[in-house]
């Protein structure tokens, strides 16, 4: 009797958990969104935009990848910073693969070295992703940078990409699937994230705030959803934007409340696009002094502990 033909390895279903890490602002959240194909993580040109780990699931006929986006690796000693570092450490436990994201348009610095240290400690296979190549005029300049990282760590692959433009993402997706072990799908095909809608909405509001504020305001802002009512095809949300000082409240309100209004409109449109129904957003700005140092407040902010 002839032995039965083995399924070809390419067709074997593969799955796994893949953490995305790197120093702040390298484009980790943009990369997560691009790989999953849906905007799940908010993006801003500010360090520490991402405050918790965010999961995004990408499913194909032959593979399912659960990506975990993390806050940028940084030093800083406030309570919220320590919480962010804790969530990064958790995201490194028991991972099948790591994506170490480097901003290819900048010289590597101390923060990159710190992030690489965590990759080494995690001990999982890692792919080096050189992001923002759209900003690198002469692509030959990438080679010495890639060589440098090749010598610093035994990466399984080194892949140049532009998360913003989509360049190199197919190569990266193939490399990821190739490195994952055979395994079943953990989630239904249409499952995209573990974040509840309330959290997605609060994050979208926060993103619109980050886009219009500068200096100390972004770090001082937190958003809580206080009321959530579904009325047929309309979802009515009341949310509070917490700031630390009256001056920051004035900045957010703008003249005659214009700035807050524009934040609200932009956030509403994006909520409607992401969640596919109509929203009414009522936004309030409140001064909550020292929220960044309050354990109780930080616990309330984290939907995982809700």
- By CB under 6 A, tell whether 134 contacts ligand GDP: yes
Asked if residues 45 and 179 have their Cβ atoms less than 8 Å apart, the reply is no
Instruction: Kindly tell me which of 29 and 248 has the beta carbon lying closer to ligand GDP.
Output: 29
The label of the residue with tokens 């040109």 reads 45
Q: Are 67 and 31 in contact (CB under 8 A)?
A: no
- Tell me if 163 contacts ligand GDP by CB under 6 A: yes
How far apart are alpha carbons 301 and 295 in whole angstroms? Answer: 10
- Give least dist CB 95 to Mg ion, A: 18
Based on the shown chain and the rule CB under 6 A, indicate whether residue 25 belongs to the binding site for ligand GDP.
yes
Query: C-beta of 8: minimal distance to ligand GDP in Å?
Result: 34
Residue 50 binds to Mg ion (criterion: CB under 5 A)? yes
Per rule CB under 6 A, is residue 55 in the interface with ligand GDP? Answer: no
Q: What is the DSSP letter of 249?
A: H
Q: What is the 3-state secondary structure (H, E, C) of 172-190?
A: HHHHHHHHCCECCCCCCCC
List the one residue from 19, 162, 213, 224 that touches ligand GDP (CB under 6 A): 162
What DSSP string runs through 8-61?
PGGGS-EEEEEEEE-STTSSHHHHHHHHHTS--S---SSTT---S-EEEEEE-S
The residue (of 210 and 263) whose beta carbon lies closer to Mg ion is 210
User: Which of residues 15, 19, 26, 29 is near Mg ion by CB under 5 A?
Assistant: 29
Binding site for Mg ion (CB under 5 A): 28-29, 49-50
Binding site for ligand GDP (CB under 6 A): 24-30, 43-45, 49-50, 72, 131-132, 134-135, 162-164
């Amino acid at each position: 009797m002839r032995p039965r033909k083995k399924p070809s390895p390419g067709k074997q279903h593969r799955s796994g958990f893949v953490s995305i890490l790197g120093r702040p602002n390298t484009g980790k959240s943009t990369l997560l969104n691009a790989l999953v194909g849906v905007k799940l993580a908010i993006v801003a040109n500010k360090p520490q935009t991402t405050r918790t780990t965010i999961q995004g699931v990408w499913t194909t006929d032959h593979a399912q990848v659960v990506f975990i986006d993390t806050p940028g690796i940084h030093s800083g000693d406030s309570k919220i910073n320590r919480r962010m570092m804790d969530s990064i450490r958790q995201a490194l436990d028991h991972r099948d693969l790591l994506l170490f994201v480097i901003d290819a348009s900048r010289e590597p610095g101390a923060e990159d070295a710190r992030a690489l240290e965590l990759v080494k400690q995690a001990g999982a296979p890692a792919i080096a992703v050189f992001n923002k190549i759209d900003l690198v005029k002469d692509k030959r300049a990438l080679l010495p940078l890639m060589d440098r990282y090749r010598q610093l760590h035994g990466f399984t692959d080194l892949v140049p990409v532009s998360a913003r433009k989509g360049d190199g993402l197919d190569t990266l997706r193939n490399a990821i699937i190739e490195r994952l072990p055979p395994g079943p799908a953990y989630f239904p095909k249409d499952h995209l994230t573990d974040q509840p809608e309330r959290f997605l909405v609060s994050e979208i509001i926060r993103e619109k705030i980050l886009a219009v504020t500068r200096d100390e305001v972004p770090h001082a802002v937190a958003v809580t959803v206080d009321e959530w009512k579904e009325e047929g095809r309309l979802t009515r949300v009341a949310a509070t934007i917490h700031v630390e000082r009256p001056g920051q409240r004035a900045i957010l309100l703008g003249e005659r409340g214009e700035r807050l209004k524009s934040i609200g409109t932009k956030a509403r449109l994006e909520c409607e696009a992401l969640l596919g129904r109509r929203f009414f957003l009522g936004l309030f700005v409140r001064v909550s002094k020292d929220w960044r140092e309050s354990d109780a407040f930080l616990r309330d902010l984290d939907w995982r502990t809700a």
